[in-house]
């Protein structure tokens, strides 16, 4: 299964709203684990990018 991580450009990983939702939701433990792994890796390597639109969608 492919997860909607977005695009990679210049060693940056753009995350869309679905990744944040999967990381926050406990309804699907497999998706939650994968999303958390992706976000953790991006944080550890300083490559993660979130747009203000994605954050707005997630928090509304």
Strand partners, 12: 9
Structural domain contains residue 34: yes
Structural domain contains residue 1: no
| Residue 53 in tokens | 């639109």
Structural domain contains residue 2: no
Helix, strand, or coil (residue 12)? strand
Q: Which of 46, 44, 42 is nearest to 15 (CA)?
A: 42
Model confidence over 1-59: pLDDT tens digits?
344 555 545 688 899 999 999 999 999 999 999 999 999 999 999 999 999 999 999 99
CA distance 7 to 13: 6
Number of domains in the chain: 1
For the full predicted model, state whether its pTM sits above 0.95.
no
CA distance 53 to 30: 26
- Rg of the chain over CA atoms, in angstroms? 11
Structural domain contains residue 40: yes
Residue 25, domain extent: 8-59
């Amino acid at each position: 299964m492919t997860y909607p991580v977005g695009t990679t450009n210049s060693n940056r990983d753009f995350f869309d709203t679905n990744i944040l939702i999967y990381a926050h939701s406990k309804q699907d433990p497999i998706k939650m684990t994968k999303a958390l792994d992706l976000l953790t890796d991006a944080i550890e390597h300083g490559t993660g990018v979130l747009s203000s639109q994605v954050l707005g969608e997630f928090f509304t």
